[in-house]
Chains A and B, each alone.
Chain A
Amino acid sequence: MAQPFPYTYYSCDCYDSKVAPNPPKRASQPPPADDEDERTFDPRNARSNYSLYPLEHLLYCEDCQQIRCQRCVIEETLNWFCPSCLFEVPSSVIKSDGNRCTRNCYNCPVCTSPMTVNTLEDPTDPSSSGGPWILACPYCQWSTVEIGIEFEKHTGITSQLSRIANGGKTIPTAKERDKERERRKEIEMRKKDRDYFSGSEDSPSTDKDEGITPSHDDLFSNLSAFYKSQMASQTPSNPFSPHEINFSSPSSFSRIMNLYSSTTHKKQKREKPSPMREAASVHEGLNIHDPATDAAAIERIKRSGWSSTLSSSQKLAQPNPSIRFDSELRPVASLLQTKRGKRCRNCRHILSKPESKITSTRYKIKLLALNHIPRLSIRALSPIPLTTTQPVLYDYDRLRSGIPTHFLLHLSNPLFDPIRVTLATPSTTPGKIQSRVTILCPQFDVGANTDVWDDALSSTLSPIKKPTSIGPDGNPQTSIEAGKIWDRGRNWTSVVLEVVPGFLIQPLGSKEEEELEEDEDVLEIPIFVRLEFEADVNAEERGLGDSRGTEGKREKREEAFWTVVGVGRIVGN
């Protein structure tokens, strides 16, 4: 998701480390000059897109002591609900009716906006029901009137819609379909017999009944009925089906016996099923391509133009994605959403679990990365002394090439222990536009996240924030010193980052003028963050605050991850 500048993304290295099933190697501190550390994270690598997340999207597994992103968690669906009417849908209904709302929630097939049920009632001649009713789009004004559908009631739209075809004709129910199929079959059989006796030869394509092309639903129900009959003929009786248990049938009896006798079970392997016959006629679900429909479609485009055809996204949203014209559109039932819990893919511990009630926004468990790893942020260090009331807005979308610019890297510590931070960054950014980057003070300490009130009190005694035109040591801010931090507070420290934005146009002598691709003028700096701190061995209930006082042993811990800081967009000179 695009964010305004400046932003910080955090990289989860789960792809590279492949989430090993054995305990993480973090306990045995790897040497700092490991080749893993030598490799610079490249935010422009196509794969990087999938490992970078804003901090608020990341979870943290306290057992693995690692960040967990969407790729290294397992999701568990707690419940399904309709985003439009906010009704919960039980999982049994999901299995039978699919993942769409079966109430009155529909989306516009043209523009995706949720539709409303409106009345077409003539105010001068009111009807008893207040109808007729239609589904209408409040955004693009499309309505079911355009496909010739009106409803008698304003509730139960789904069941009404399932019975009305475009144009207003009634769609047969499944039972009626079955009856009709049987009737056709019989007619065909009789016809065949007749043909056999009369000796005339007919091509099989003549069973286009009365010239009506069967609908998508007809074909589907025909095909599924055909397959069911084929399955049934394969297995004459199914011992597991409660309706079909027939103890008088020897085959089903022997099958039931097999369930209880393990000795014969292995020997009597089921015979290989013989291949099924293919559907051979329309009532078996065969759809023979008719060139006349193509001709008709072309004729229609000639007549009503491209505007009557559908875009691919409109088609894909339809229950029948092979339709072509706007007259075939159907309102799209709203897709359900889920509430999900998340587990660590490595150790299966629960990382987040929302309360299952749809209306609740609370979590029973929520282990956020932002409570475990420091928040890194950046902002321009304005050259103009600013007053606290009116900060001069720095235009991050207009970084000037070749002009050294100072930024403040701000690191705040959520842990209850002080941390030692080491930052590393490549001296030039990866990508075609090479900007020079220097962190003036790459190693520093950040205080512990003590009680907020400590800070409030101390800040009233001695304000941490000095006028910004003066540096932390009383010098005017023009003297930015290397190796010294810029400022610090209770649980935060800021250091200066010097950036010389690169040039958009390659200097003369480079092989060829390469075209810049999209967003190649964005200045993104990969920054490696490494923390060292001492924590209580059993600091699991961190966040409760008072684990510091316990007499538990302290252990040295280390944490390291890549971040990418989006500074802004380079515009040249």
Chain B
Amino acid sequence: MSRPSARKAAPKGEYIETDSGNKVSRRSAITGTANITLGGRTVIMADVHLRGDLHPTRAVPSSSGKEVTPTSISIGRCTVISTGSVIKPPSRISRGQVHYYPMKIGDNVFVGPHCTISAISIASHVHIGDHTTIHPFVIIKENVKILPNTVIPANMVIPSGSVVGGRPARVVGEVGEGWGVSGGGAGVGGGLGVGGGGEKSWVEGGDLRELVRSIK
């Protein structure tokens, strides 16, 4: 269900796998690769656009005096960015100049298809439904579920444990105590059907290792 639709078999396989186990689709658009860090076992699907070229321009003080490449997007481990999503660091105009700020995304974050994300920080175990727009400088804390088609207005802070939805977004509920806990039911090779049911062997907000493994 969360898998992207319409994926043609690329001749060399859909994904390029890095040494640390990141899987990056050959059909993704990544600009400014030097300014992007991926934590390992993270998936970047087709038609995802990572705007690493929009990096902070202010002088970064470095001890060695060498020039340091500024980081614009840092993504943690086992995070999945689904088809067609755009990750664009937030910017602010000051004294007539556009300044970009580095964006941080944590571990085990699921970004659904066709999202546009300009948050300043997204903590771990966050599940973002499809077609969600996150405006600049939004802060999302741990264990948050964002319902599909949500628009989160700029600068909004979403406390941990919230379920968020609507346009503009508001907190509509709390994730249960069992959020992200797959329980004894999930296991390595445990077949199908953890989660709300159905085809996935992972739970929203939980460890996405299984999902990452299944993506080929």
Contacts and interface: CB of A to CB of B under 8 A. Distances in A.
A487 B175 CA distance: 32
Interface residues of B, number: 52
A366 B177 contact: yes
B192 A377 contact: yes
Interface in B152-196: 153-163, 168-173, 175-179, 181, 183-196
6 pairs of A and B residues whose beta carbons are closest in the complex = A414-B184, A56-B178, A412-B185, A57-B176, A377-B197, A410-B193
Interface in A367-393: 368-371, 374-379, 389-391, 393
25 contacts: A1-B172, A7-B197, A8-B197, A56-B181, A57-B178, A83-B158, A111-B168, A116-B154, A138-B153, A342-B177, A361-B141, A361-B143, A366-B177, A368-B178, A374-B185, A375-B185, A376-B197, A379-B197, A393-B1, A393-B199, A408-B193, A412-B186, A412-B187, A492-B191, A494-B191
B198 A465 contact: no
B49 interface: no
A368 B188 contact: no
Interface residues of A, number: 71
B88 interface: no
Contacts of A7: 196-198
B168 A377 contact: no
Contacts, number: 180
Contacts of A415: 184
Interface stretch (A23-31, A218-226, A448-456, A473-481): A448-456
B174 to A, nearest CB: 9
B5 interface: yes
Contacts of A487: 191
Interface of A: 1, 3-8, 53-59, 81, 83-86, 108, 111-114, 116, 137-140, 337, 342, 352, 361, 363, 366, 368-371, 374-379, 389-391, 393-394, 396, 408, 410, 412-415, 449, 452, 455-456, 459, 464-465, 487, 489-492, 494, 565
Contacts of B135: 138
Nearest to B157: A84
Given A375-B185, A494-B192, 11 more contacts: A1-B147, A1-B172, A6-B196, A56-B181, A361-B160, A374-B185, A376-B197, A391-B3, A412-B193, A465-B189, A491-B187
A424 B187 CA distance: 27
B9 to A, nearest CB: 9
B203 interface: yes
Given A1-B173, A3-B196, A116-B155, A370 B191 contact: no
A393 B155 CA distance: 37
Contact of A83 (B171, B177, B199): B171
B122 to A, nearest CB: 14
A455 B187 contact: yes
A137 B153 CA distance: 9
Contacts of A83: 157-159, 162, 171
Contacts of A114: 153, 155-157
Interface string B1-12: 101010100000
Given A56-B203, A379-B199, A368 B177 contact: yes
A57 B175 CA distance: 7
Contacts of A112: 168, 170
A393 B196 CA distance: 16
B193 A379 contact: yes
B185 A379 contact: no
Contacts of B172: 1
A489 B189 contact: yes
Contacts of B157: 83-86, 114
A86 B154 CA distance: 17
Contacts of B183: 55, 368, 370-371, 375, 412, 414
B213 to A, nearest CB: 11
Given A113-B153, A393-B3, A55 B178 contact: yes
Nearest to B139: A86
Identify the interface centre among B147, B181, B183: most chain A CB within 10 Å of its CB.
B183
Interface string B93-122: 000000000000000000000000000000
Nearest to B96: A123
A465 B191 contact: yes
A465 B214 CA distance: 14
Given A56-B181, A114-B156, A491-B184, A408 B190 contact: no
